[in-house]
């Protein structure tokens, strides 16, 4: 048994091989049956005729249906007209499952394709998205391991909020209530005191009511936290991480990127250093582009789309006003009305993919901030303890992996970057 991609290589020409997979296309012309076989590695054409196939096998071969599962054997020949320039001349055929009509066709619209996502994941397009996604997840891990980070895990059921109450999911918990985590950040912060450099990949849950290209209610959150790092150190690390992830995708997934219609030359230009633009200037740029923005306004998906359409590389937005960011961000000692933080905006209209920055590490400042934000100290006793015992400057970031995949693959919406998207209107399949 070999894979389709192996069968397409030089070394099997003239040999008898066996392949397994699914019928991608089938048709018969006179006394010849043509079958295109698909497996996880690609597609290959096979041809069947008597007497190499028995009369029974030929009958089956000439009436195969799309996505039936089969096993075929035969001699591999070169054939310039076939996809991949190879053709298998069948001498045996076995059917595992013969389908009636496979219900998936591309032209039935987004909602239909979401309803049948459990079948659409087999399409060549979605297979390519899954492969790009695999490279993104793997290279994120590999990058941080190569830099001496430790991977850690945090709980998903928590009693604190990191990003404010409006997007919390509450779940019953033995007569009490807990929240589904919005971020693993606070737990990562605890672990820098033992490991100094830590990262995690885990789901985060946010009850997002808006339906934008970039919001899921359950998404994959890659987070890092580093002892002794300032905001600028963190941004430099993120630049190197992004360079690595993009270079790995370009190394392993060119065919996949082409299949989903990504402009690869644009992606090749996304290397660091990225621009750094203060929030104040971003507001001006937005207004120069015709938006009606004022200092202190939060930028949403639409505003960021207009602004980042004018960038051909990712951009760090820095120096946000205190009121726009969560309570844990460290005020800039030289300009206390702003915080030492950054959002990384992807270009080409995509917008925010990372939020990060320096965390408050002085106990009295953090206590004051909790008060200003109307948050109960008791709930955060353990987070405050980190500022009592051996507190240190530190920084971290959170990256939305689904958003990153959406941008890297050039997809229209985040719902096409994840096999089973969860949104306000969808919990099936």
To ligand ATP, the closest distance from the beta carbon of 404 in angstroms equals: 7
To ligand ATP, the closest distance from the beta carbon of 298 in angstroms equals: 7
For residue 330, give the DSSP letter.
P
Segment 258 to 277, residues that bind ligand ATP, using CB under 6 A: none
User: DSSP letters along 346-378, please?
Assistant: ETTTTEEEEEEEEBP--HHHHHHHHHHTT--GG
Contact segment (CB under 6 A) with ligand ATP among 34-42, 269-277, 378-386, 395-403 equals 395-403
**CA 339 from chain center: how many Å?**
28
Interface residue with ligand ATP among 400, 405, 411, 415 (CB under 6 A) is 400
Burial of 137 (0-12, 13-18, 19+ CB in 10 A): middle
Q: Give every CB contact of residue 303 below 8 A, 6+ residues apart in sequence.
A: 286, 291, 293
Segment 91 to 110, residues that bind ligand ATP, using CB under 6 A: none
Q: Give every CB contact of residue 413 below 8 A, 6+ residues apart in sequence.
A: 213, 406
Our finding on whether 330 is near ligand ATP (CB under 6 A) is no
Interface residue with ligand ATP among 206, 262, 329, 394 (CB under 6 A) is 206
**For ligand ATP, which is the closer residue by CB, 34 or 199?**
199
User: In the structure encoding, which two tokens stand for residue 47, read together?
Assistant: 């041809």
Q: Give the residue carrying structure tokens 């630049």.
A: 239
Contact segment (CB under 6 A) with ligand ATP among 210-218, 259-267, 363-371, 386-394 equals 210-218
Our finding on whether 88 is near ligand ATP (CB under 6 A) is no
To ligand ATP, the closest distance from the beta carbon of 181 in angstroms equals: 12
User: In the structure encoding, which two tokens stand for residue 315, read together?
Assistant: 């951009």
Q: Three-class SS of residue 157?
A: strand
Our finding on whether 415 is near ligand ATP (CB under 6 A) is no
Report whether 308 contacts 351 (CB < 8 A).
yes
Interface residue with ligand ATP among 50, 71, 163, 243 (CB under 6 A) is 163
Segment 215 to 254, residues that bind ligand ATP, using CB under 6 A: 215-216, 219, 221
Angle at 6 between CA 65 and CA 95, to 5 degrees: 25
To ligand ATP, the closest distance from the beta carbon of 120 in angstroms equals: 20
**For ligand ATP, which is the closer residue by CB, 133 or 214?**
214
**For ligand ATP, which is the closer residue by CB, 95 or 202?**
202
Interface residue with ligand ATP among 87, 189, 208, 358 (CB under 6 A) is 208
Residue 238's nearest CA partner among 327, 343, 131 is: 343
**For ligand ATP, which is the closer residue by CB, 87 or 208?**
208
Interface residue with ligand ATP among 314, 347, 355, 396 (CB under 6 A) is 355
Our finding on whether 314 is near ligand ATP (CB under 6 A) is no
Q: Give every CB contact of residue 88 below 8 A, 6+ residues apart in sequence.
A: 7, 17, 19, 37, 44, 45, 46, 47, 72, 74, 75, 76, 77
To ligand ATP, the closest distance from the beta carbon of 401 in angstroms equals: 8
Asked, as a colleague might, if the bond just before 429 is cis with ω within 30 of 0, I would say yes
Our finding on whether 352 is near ligand ATP (CB under 6 A) is yes
Report whether 133 contacts 193 (CB < 8 A).
no
Q: In whole angstroms, give the CA distance from residue 82 to residue 361.
A: 64
**For ligand ATP, which is the closer residue by CB, 300 or 336?**
300
Our finding on whether 418 is near ligand ATP (CB under 6 A) is no
Our finding on whether 214 is near ligand ATP (CB under 6 A) is yes
Our finding on whether 398 is near ligand ATP (CB under 6 A) is yes
Beta strands in 40-182 (DSSP E): 42-48, 69-78, 86-97, 150-151, 157-158, 170-173, 176-180
Q: Which residues of this chain interact with ligand ATP, rule CB under 6 A?
A: 163, 206, 208, 214-216, 219, 221, 352-355, 398-400, 402-403
């Amino acid at each position: 048994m070999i894979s389709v991609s192996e069968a397409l290589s030089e070394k099997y020409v003239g040999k008898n091989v066996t392949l397994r997979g699914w019928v991608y296309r089938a048709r018969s012309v006179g006394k010849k049956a043509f079958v295109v076989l698909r497996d996880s590695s690609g597609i290959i054409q096979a041809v069947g005729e008597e007497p190499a196939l028995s009369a029974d096998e030929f009958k089956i071969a000439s009436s195969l249906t799309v996505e039936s599962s089969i096993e075929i054997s035969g001699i591999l020949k070169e054939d310039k007209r076939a996809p991949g320039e190879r053709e298998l001349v069948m001498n045996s055929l076995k059917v595992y499952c013969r389908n009636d009509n496979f219900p998936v066709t591309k032209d039935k619209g987004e909602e239909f394709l979401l309803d049948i996502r459990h079948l659409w994941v087999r399409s060549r397009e979605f297979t390519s998205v899954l492969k790009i996604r695999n490279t993104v997840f793997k290279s994120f891990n590999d990058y941080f391991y190569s830099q001496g980070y430790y991977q850690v895990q945090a709980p998903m059921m928590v009693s604190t909020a990191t990003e404010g109450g409006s997007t919390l999911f509450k779940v019953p918990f033995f007569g009490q209530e807990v929240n589904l985590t919005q971020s693993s950040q606070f737990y990562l912060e605890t672990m820098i005191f033992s490991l100094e450099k830590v990262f995690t990949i885990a789901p985060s849950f946010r009850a997002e009511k808006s339906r934008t290209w970039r919001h899921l209610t359950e998404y994959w959150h890659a987070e890092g936290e580093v002892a002794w790092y300032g905001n600028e150190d963190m941004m430099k690390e993120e630049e190197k991480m992004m360079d690595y992830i993009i270079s790995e995708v370009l190394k392993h997934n060119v065919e996949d990127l082409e299949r989903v219609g990504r402009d690869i030359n644009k992606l090749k230009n996304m290397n660091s250093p990225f621009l750094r633009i203060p929030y104040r200037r971003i507001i001006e740029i937005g207004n120069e582009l015709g938006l009606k923005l004022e200092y202190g306004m939060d930028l949403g998906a639409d505003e960021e789309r207009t602004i980042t359409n004018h960038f051909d590389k990712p951009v760090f937005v820095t120096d946000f006003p205190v009121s726009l960011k969560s309570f844990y961000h460290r005020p800039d000692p030289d300009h206390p009305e702003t915080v030492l933080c950054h959002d990384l905006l992807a270009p080409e209209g995509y917008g925010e993919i990372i939020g990060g920055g320096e965390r408050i590490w002085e106990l009295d400042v953090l206590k004051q901030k909790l008060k200003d934000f109307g948050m109960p100290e008791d709930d955060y006793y353990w987070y405050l303890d980190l500022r009592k015992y051996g507190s240190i400057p530190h920084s971290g970031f959170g990256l939305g992996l689904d958003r990153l995949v959406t941008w890297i693959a050039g997809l229209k919406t985040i719902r096409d970057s994840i096999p089973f998207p969860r949104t306000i209107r969808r919990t099936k399949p």
